[in-house]
Amino acid sequence: MKQSVQNIMVIDLDRCIGCMACQVACKLENEVALGADRIRVLTIGPTGTYPDLQMYFLPVMCQQCEEPPCVAVCPTGASYRRTEAGDIQIDRDICIGCQSCYRACPYALNIFNNELRIMDKCDQCAHLQKIGEKPACVKNCPGRAMFFGDANDPDSDVSRILCETDPAHVHTLPDSGNRPMTRYILRKSDWVEIMPQEVPEPVNRRRQR
Amino acid sequence: MGYRVSYEQADRLLQTWQKQYRIYAPKRFAGRGWKPGTDMIRYGEIQSFRDVAYTEQSHFSPKDVVAPIMQTMLSFTADEVKVSSIDDRGILLLARPCDIHGIHRLDKIFLKNGGQADFYYQRYREKVKFVMIECREGWDHCFCVSMGANRTDDYSMAVRFGPDDLLIEVRDEDFADSLAGLPAVDFTPEFVSQDKKPVQLPVIKNPEQLKAAYDLPMWAEYNDRCISCGSCNTVCTTCSCFDTIDVIFSETSRDGERRRVWSSCMLESFSTMAGGHAVRKTPGERMRFKVLHKVHDYRSRFGGDEHMCIGCGRCDIRCPEDISFVDAVNRLSAAMAGQAVVVGTKEEI
Amino acid sequence: MQEQAAKMKDMLDPATVDDLELVLSGPESFAPLTESDAGADDEVQKINTCCRACISNCGVIAHVRNGRVIKLEGNPEDRMSKGAMCAKGLAGIQALYHPNRNKYPMQRVGERGENKWKRISWEEAIDIIARKLMETREKYGAETVFCSTGGGGNPEIWSIARFCNIFGTPNWFEPGCAQCYLPRVLATAMMYGGDDSSIADSNALEIYFPEDTEMQSLVLWGTDPSYSCTASGGAAVVDLRAKGVKTVVIDPRLTPDAAKADVWLPVRPGSDVALMLTWIRYILDNRLYDADFVLRWTNLPYLVNTETNMLLRAETSNDPASPDTFMVLDARTGSPRPLPYPWDDNLDPVLDGGCHIDGIEYKTGYRLLKERVEPYTLEKGAELCWLEPDRIEKGIRMFTDNQPGGLALGVATDQTPNSVQAAMAANIIDLLMGNVERPGALMQRFRKSGVFDMPNYPVPIAAGRLPDEQLKKRLGGIEHKGLHIWYAGHATSIFDAVLTGEPYKPRIWIDRSGNKMGAIADSHKVKRVIDELDFIVHMYMYPTSFSAYADILLPTTEWLETDMMVETCNTLCARQAVTHLWETMDETEIWSRLAKRCGELGHEACRLAFDAEYMGKDLPYWESVTELWDHFLSRIDLTWEQLKQNTPYEYMSKDEWKTYYVYQQTDPQTNLPVGFNTPSKKIELYLESMITLGRTGLPFSACELEPATRDYDPLPYFLEPSESPLAGSELVRSFPLVMTNGRVPLYHHTTLRNVPWMRELYPVPELLIHPTDAEKYAVEHGDWVWIESLRGKIRALASLTQGIMPGVVFMERFWNPETLDSKTRGWQEMNVNVLTKADAPFNDVVGTYTLRGILVKVYKADGPPEGIWQKPEDFRVWLPEPADPTKEVRL
Amino acid sequence: MENIMLPSGAKIIDIIHETTAEYTFRVAYDQPIRHGQFFQLSIPKVGEAPISVSAKGEGWIEFTIRKVGRLTEGLFGLQPGHTIFLRGPYGNYFPIESFDNKALVVIAGGTGLAAVRSLLRHYADNRADIRDVYLIAGFKDINSVLFTQDLQRFRETFNTIATLDNMTAPGFSTGLVTAHIPSIPFAELGDCNVVIVGPPLMMRFASEACIKNGADPDNMWLSFERKMSCAVGKCGHCKINETYVCLEGPIFRYTKAQELLD
From C87, C745, C781, residue closest to A209, measured CB to CB: C781
Contact D77 C29 (CB under 8 A): no
From C17, C26, C27, residue closest to D77, measured CB to CB: C17
ipTM at complex level: 0.90
Q: Give the closest-approach CA distance of D84 to chain C in angstroms.
A: 7
Instruction: Please report which helix (H) or strand (E) contains residue A201, including its range.
Output: none
Contacts of C227 in chain A (CB under 8 A): 19
Neighbours of chain B (3+ CB pairs under 8 A): A, C, D
User: Mean pLDDT throughout D183-196?
Assistant: 91
pLDDT digits (tens, 9 = 90+) for C703-736: 999 999 999 999 999 999 999 999 999 999 999 9
Q: What percent of chain D has pLDDT over 70?
A: 100
Q: Which residue in C has a C-alpha nearest to residue B77's C-alpha?
A: C23
Among B residues 188-217, those touching chain D with beta carbons less than 8 Å apart: 207, 210-211, 214
| Alpha-carbon distances of C741 from A19, B221, C151, C516, C835, rounded to whole Å | 18, 56, 17, 17, 11
Count CB neighbours of D148 within 10 A. 12
Distance CA D75, CA D62 (A): 13
Contact A115 B59 (CB under 8 A): no
Per the CB < 8 A criterion, the answer to whether C732 and C767 are in contact is: no
Q: Number of residue pairs across B and D with CB atoms under 8 Å?
A: 130
Contact of A5 with chain B, judged by CB distance below 8 Å, is answered with: no
Q: Is the pLDDT of residue A204 over 70?
A: no
Distance CA D188, CA D208 (A): 19
For helices C587-600 and C625-633, the axis angle rounded to 10 degrees is: 110
Where do the domains of chain A lie?
A: 7-185
pLDDT digits (tens, 9 = 90+) for C626-675: 999 999 999 999 999 999 999 999 999 999 999 999 999 999 999 999 99
Q: Is the pLDDT of residue C427 over 50?
A: yes
- In this prediction, residue A195 carries a pLDDT of 60
Q: Give the closest-approach CA distance of B81 to chain C in angstroms.
A: 6
pLDDT digits (tens, 9 = 90+) for B175-234: 998 988 888 999 999 999 999 988 999 999 999 999 999 999 999 999 999 999 999 999
Secondary-structure class of domain C731-836+853-877 per CATH: mainly beta
Distance CA C145, CA C582 (A): 29
Residues of A in CB contact (< 8 Å) with C are 14-15, 17-21, 23-25, 27-29, 34-36, 45-51, 53-57, 136, 139-145, 188-189, 204-209
User: Mean pLDDT throughout C428-451?
Assistant: 97
First to last CA, chain B: 39
Per the CB < 8 A criterion, the answer to whether C260 and C247 are in contact is: yes
Report residue D71's pLDDT band, with 50, 70 and 90 as the boundaries. confident
- In this prediction, residue C571 carries a pLDDT of 97
Report residue A89's pLDDT band, with 50, 70 and 90 as the boundaries. very high
3-class SS of residue B208: helix
User: Mean pLDDT throughout A67-74?
Assistant: 95
Per the CB < 8 A criterion, the answer to whether C365 and C352 are in contact is: no
Distance CA C465, CA C164 (A): 9
The closest alpha carbon to D90, from D48, D49, D33, D136, belongs to D33
Among C residues 33-92, those touching chain B with beta carbons less than 8 Å apart: 33-34, 36
Q: Is the pLDDT of residue C798 over 90?
A: yes
Contact A208 C768 (CB under 8 A): yes
From B84, B253, B254, residue closest to C33, measured CB to CB: B84
From D6, D43, D73, residue closest to C23, measured CB to CB: D43
Choose, out of B74, B111, B262, the residue to mutate when testing the contact with D (most D CBs < 10 Å).
Answer: B74
Count CB neighbours of A164 within 10 A. 8
Count CB neighbours of C138 within 10 A. 11
Report residue C26's pLDDT band, with 50, 70 and 90 as the boundaries. very low
Mean pLDDT, chain D, rounded, equals 93
Residues sharing a CB contact under 8 Å with residue C776, sequence separation 6 or more, in sequence order: none
pLDDT digits (tens, 9 = 90+) for B224-261: 999 999 999 999 999 999 999 999 887 777 789 999 99
Among C residues 744-773, those touching chain A with beta carbons less than 8 Å apart: 745-746, 756-757, 760-763, 766, 768, 770
> Largest alpha-carbon pair distance within chain D?
57
Where do the domains of chain C lie?
A: 106-180+458-650, 731-836+853-877
DSSP-assigned letters across all residues of D24-84: EEEEE--S---TT-EEEEEETTTEEEEEEEEEEETTEEEEEEES-SHHHHHHTT--TT-EE
Q: Is the pLDDT of residue C363 over 70?
A: yes
pLDDT digits (tens, 9 = 90+) for B85-100: 999 999 999 999 999 9
Contact B227 A97 (CB under 8 A): no
Contact of C83 with chain A, judged by CB distance below 8 Å, is answered with: yes
pLDDT digits (tens, 9 = 90+) for C764-776: 999 999 999 999 9
Neighbours of chain C (3+ CB pairs under 8 A): A, B, D
User: Mean pLDDT throughout A15-38?
Assistant: 94
Q: What percent of chain A has pLDDT over 70?
A: 91
Per the CB < 8 A criterion, the answer to whether C106 and C120 are in contact is: yes
- In this prediction, residue B113 carries a pLDDT of 96
Instruction: Please report which helix (H) or strand (E) contains residue B3, including its range.
Output: strand B2-6
Per the CB < 8 A criterion, the answer to whether B36 and A177 are in contact is: no
CATH of domain A7-185: 3.30.70.20
Contact of C873 with chain B, judged by CB distance below 8 Å, is answered with: no
Q: Is the pLDDT of residue C158 over 90?
A: no
Distance CA C21, CA C23 (A): 5
The closest alpha carbon to D111, from C688, B118, B273, A209, belongs to B273
Contacts of C241 in chain A (CB under 8 A): 14
Give me the domains of chain D, ranges plus CATH numbers.
Answer: 8-90 (2.40.30.10), 96-223 (3.40.50.80)
pLDDT digits (tens, 9 = 90+) for B18-47: 999 999 999 999 999 999 889 999 999 999
The residue type found at A160 is: R
Contact B31 A83 (CB under 8 A): yes
The closest alpha carbon to A180, from A57, A30, A70, belongs to A70
Per the CB < 8 A criterion, the answer to whether B142 and B313 are in contact is: yes
pLDDT digits (tens, 9 = 90+) for C521-572: 999 999 999 999 999 999 999 999 999 999 999 999 999 999 999 999 999 9
The closest alpha carbon to B64, from B24, B34, B32, belongs to B24
pLDDT digits (tens, 9 = 90+) for B137-177: 999 999 999 999 999 999 999 999 999 999 999 999 999 98
Contacts of D239 in chain B (CB under 8 A): 293, 297
- In this prediction, residue B349 carries a pLDDT of 33
Report residue B339's pLDDT band, with 50, 70 and 90 as the boundaries. low
Report residue C41's pLDDT band, with 50, 70 and 90 as the boundaries. low
Q: Is the pLDDT of residue A196 over 70?
A: no
| Alpha-carbon distances of C488 from A72, C419, C708, C838, C883, rounded to whole Å | 67, 17, 16, 17, 43
Between residues A111 and C8, which one has the greater pLDDT?
A111
Contact C26 B75 (CB under 8 A): no
The residue type found at A195 is: M
Q: Give the closest-approach CA distance of B84 to chain C in angstroms.
A: 5
Secondary-structure class of domain C106-180+458-650 per CATH: alpha beta
Neighbours of chain D (3+ CB pairs under 8 A): B, C
The beta-strand segments (E) located in C66-213 are 68-74, 106-108, 116-119, 145-148, 172-173
Per the DSSP assignment, residues forming a β-bridge with C443 are C436
